[in-house]
Amino acid sequence: MTLRISMLTLGLLLSMAACQKKEVSVTYMLSDEQLARLILDVQLGEVALHELTGTKQDSLKNLYWLRLATVYKLSEPEIKEEIRKVENDPEKFKLIMDRVQTLSDSIR
């Protein structure tokens, strides 16, 4: 249920991104496949973190970002910037989110 809510939220972001002006000559540090996997990882992490409170949530969040940084070889600010760039590029966002949906469907 919460995964569906996250997907709906991202759908709304897609709608908003479609209305924004496309950035010119955007360079990504990750491939499309890596971006899709990153976004799925972030969504799953947010769902897991939502179930916790207080110190447990903070501790897991810190460990989670350390793990993302290790896997994707980017810092937390760089990861957030990659996601921001995708969100501001409607065509790429749709492509990536279609792949995220496929990946998400495959883990059910």
pLDDT single digits (tens) 50-90: 888 888 888 999 999 999 999 999 999 999 999 999 999 99
pTM above 0.85, yes or no: no
Q: Which residue has the higher pLDDT, 106 or 22?
A: 106
Query: For position 18, what pLDDT does the model report?
Result: 57
Please state, in angstroms and rounded to a whole number, the distance separating the CA atoms of residues 45 and 51. Answer: 10
State which H helix or E strand residue 82 sits in: helix 76-87
Mean pLDDT, residues 24-34 taken together? 90
**Can you read off the two tokens belonging to residue 50?**
């939502």
**Taking a C-beta distance cutoff of 8 angstroms, is the pair 72, 30 a contact?**
yes
Local confidence band at 16 (pLDDT 50, 70, 90 cut-offs)? low
Residue 23 has pLDDT above 70, yes or no: no
